[in-house]
Chains A and B, each alone.
Chain A
């Protein structure tokens, strides 16, 4: 026997590899899970795991170069981007890998929800999955902050504002997030520790539980209308199903997961190479005012929601709504743990899923567009845009810009989207109403009583009249 073979059988004996292999090889999955079409619905969990492992390895590389101190973090990111071999690619991989994790964990969850795989006896599979979803979002958010640029710094301020709103423990939570009373030297180390040590350890632990439960309870069979989950008989029914027609997990089911994992890695690599790393943006300076903090794409929906909610619902939307959402996710398998699994027999579940996905898409689009953000860079209209006009009209255009009107209102195709375009306002409203609204304010429009002189007001009105008549 060659030395390699002897070493091999020594390891097999001492570690018990044959036992482990036997357990995996003997593990059976329902035939439906290896079905030519339905089989592909079972790959999202494994694909998420692959994306997570990609995050672990790229994260380890980044941690060996990143300096988690506020004074140096930004420069160390530039160093990774510009000087570390493949550094830019690694940062790109970590960013798009994070995006892939958020997407896949969501798709996985939707799939499990629609096929009601969370029902008996897999309730804890779902509960641990909810914990993993929250940890994934927390990782994505803290990761954005570790990209310690202006956006990252202001992200911390915003996070502390949210935490501070929690009744009772808000102040303590705020201090925990900031590691003090305000963003300072200790803040970044805290996020580094959470993002790089605590949360990954928690993910490893809960993924371990999640996978153990998948093996213990078996993967759910594809649902069929009319075949209800009955806790008293389900387990024995499932066992006989596997005995009758179960397929070995290796290799009948695992190959699809391997292919899906490879596709995920391939897509992330292509994105990282073609689009490159994200940021860092402007330097991290809390006294730098022109910063326009905005979350990465996966939180744009919440950013949008926060902007359009009425002021009275402030605490509700910022504190209780997320808690209610989490509570609903946790209660789902406990309240609806048996009965029909097929989506065709659960119309309300389908409606709910479609509603949530639509809401997510609409709010994300709104957040990305963010029409409520003033256009601080807009240029005043000149004679070229206005055309032949009196000196007063030109003055009015200047004032319209100078007094900030154009930050929110578009005129002749230029300006912000917060308020309505004012090209036709004089045709739409009588002059007295326009005047009242400018002076007293209206809805989200501030009142300019103390800012505009009587002459300035009439000059602006002349400009608006001219726009109407053009």
Chain B
């Protein structure tokens, strides 16, 4: 097309050592005479190539960065039924679902197991429902107390004092072959 020849001298201009045309004196991408000309095509091609490359690399990069495997939880035997007297509360420890070999102690978690009656067990999450600090069971006071912001919970997990907005989270519990089993849960978020 004639346009090709029309702007040929400009291109040569840019290759020489002479003065580069001042910006604004001509729009390199959108020469009004060019229509959908060669330069416009090359500009769009560059943007398109960059975009495709970014997309191709970006999907696995962001995918690996932001999405973790769903965690169904796992049942863990934590205590023999007969070990826990009725009315008592004890810390139980268990292994996370599929802990990584290099996880060390952080592949384990704990919960507070309470025996309500002969057949009824409750397992409270360790994490305070306020900001997730580890609550401790104080036997004499019969309270779960949080060391961070002064939160406390009654033995049934309901809020006794301080800033926690909701009761302690509970783990599902079941009894199998004389053992109390607790189902692991991820870090619980209050209200979520």
A residues bordering B, Cβ < 8 Å? 69-72, 153-154, 157-158, 160-162, 164-165, 170-172, 174-176, 178-188, 283-294, 303, 306-307, 309-311, 314-315, 318, 372-374, 376, 401-405, 407, 418, 441, 443-447, 450-451
B68-104 interface bits toward A, Cβ cutoff 8 Å, 1 = contact, 0 = none: 1101000000000000000000010100100111111
**Do B106 and A184 touch (CB < 8 A)?**
yes
Q: Given A179-B68, A444-B162, are A157 and B106 neighbors across the interface (CB < 8 Å)?
A: no
Complex CA gap A372/B131 in Å reads 15
A443 proximity list for chain B (CB < 8 A): 161
Complex CA gap A252/B141 in Å reads 68
**Do A186 and B93 touch (CB < 8 A)?**
no
Q: Which chain A residue has the least Cβ–Cβ distance from B142?
A: A451
Complex CA gap A431/B162 in Å reads 25
**Do A289 and B136 touch (CB < 8 A)?**
yes
Contacts of B115-162 to chain A: CB distance below 8 A: 126-127, 130-134, 136, 138, 140-143, 145, 147-150, 152, 154-155, 160-162
**Do B104 and A70 touch (CB < 8 A)?**
yes
Main secondary structure on chain A at its contact with chain B?
Answer: loop
Instruction: Give the shortest distance, in Å, between B115 (CB) and chain A (any CB).
Output: 16
Instruction: Give the shortest distance, in Å, between B164 (CB) and chain A (any CB).
Output: 7
Instruction: Give the shortest distance, in Å, between A58 (CB) and chain B (any CB).
Output: 26
Instruction: Give the shortest distance, in Å, between B69 (CB) and chain A (any CB).
Output: 7
Q: Given A69-B104, A157-B187, A293-B147, are A311 and B134 neighbors across the interface (CB < 8 Å)?
A: no
Return the 6 tightest CB-CB contacts between A and B, nearest first: A404-B141, A71-B104, A185-B100, A181-B186, A372-B150, A164-B189
Contacts of B173-192 to chain A: CB distance below 8 A: 184-187, 189-192
Complex CA gap A226/B127 in Å reads 57
**Do A170 and B192 touch (CB < 8 A)?**
yes
Instruction: Give the shortest distance, in Å, between B107 (CB) and chain A (any CB).
Output: 6
**Do A174 and B187 touch (CB < 8 A)?**
yes
**Do B102 and A418 touch (CB < 8 A)?**
no
**Do A292 and B147 touch (CB < 8 A)?**
yes
Complex CA gap A318/B189 in Å reads 13
Q: Given A179-B68, A374-B150, are A70 and B126 neighbors across the interface (CB < 8 Å)?
A: no
Q: Is B58 an interface residue (CB 8 A)?
A: no
Complex CA gap A367/B126 in Å reads 23
Instruction: Give the shortest distance, in Å, between A369 (CB) and chain B (any CB).
Output: 12
Q: Given A171-B189, A172-B66, are A186 and B134 neighbors across the interface (CB < 8 Å)?
A: no
**Do A184 and B100 touch (CB < 8 A)?**
yes
Q: Is B8 an interface residue (CB 8 A)?
A: no
**Do A185 and B107 touch (CB < 8 A)?**
yes
Q: Given A287-B105, A306-B163, A444-B150, are A293 and B142 neighbors across the interface (CB < 8 Å)?
A: no
Q: Is B34 an interface residue (CB 8 A)?
A: no
Instruction: Give the shortest distance, in Å, between A455 (CB) and chain B (any CB).
Output: 15
Q: Which chain B residue has the least Cβ–Cβ distance from A317?
A: B163
Complex CA gap A22/B107 in Å reads 58
Could you list 16 A-B pairs, sorted by A, with CB under 8 Å?
A: A70-B103, A71-B104, A158-B133, A174-B186, A180-B71, A185-B99, A284-B106, A287-B110, A293-B133, A303-B149, A306-B149, A307-B163, A374-B145, A401-B140, A446-B141, A446-B154
Complex CA gap A186/B97 in Å reads 13
Q: Interface centre among A153, A285, A288, by most B CB within 10 Å?
A: A285
B165 proximity list for chain A (CB < 8 A): 311, 314
Complex CA gap A315/B165 in Å reads 10
Instruction: Give the shortest distance, in Å, between A290 (CB) and chain B (any CB).
Output: 7
| A-B contact sample (5 more), CB < 8 A, given A285-B105, A445-B161 | A70-B104, A287-B93, A289-B136, A294-B148, A443-B161
Partner of B150, one of A175, A287, A288, A418: A418
**Do A376 and B147 touch (CB < 8 A)?**
yes
Instruction: Give the shortest distance, in Å, between B64 (CB) and chain A (any CB).
Output: 11
Partner of B161, one of A164, A314, A444: A444
B164 proximity list for chain A (CB < 8 A): 311
**Do A160 and B142 touch (CB < 8 A)?**
no
**Do B134 and A289 touch (CB < 8 A)?**
yes
Q: Which chain B residue has the least Cβ–Cβ distance from A163?
A: B189
**Do B187 and A182 touch (CB < 8 A)?**
yes
Complex CA gap A125/B96 in Å reads 47
Complex CA gap A181/B147 in Å reads 23
Q: Is B108 an interface residue (CB 8 A)?
A: yes
**Do B150 and A72 touch (CB < 8 A)?**
no
Q: Which chain A residue has the least Cβ–Cβ distance from B69?
A: A180
Partner of B110, one of A289, A314, A318, A450: A289
Q: Interface centre among A154, A184, A444, A450, by most B CB within 10 Å?
A: A184
Partner of A286, one of B109, B145, B147, B163: B109
B101 proximity list for chain A (CB < 8 A): 185
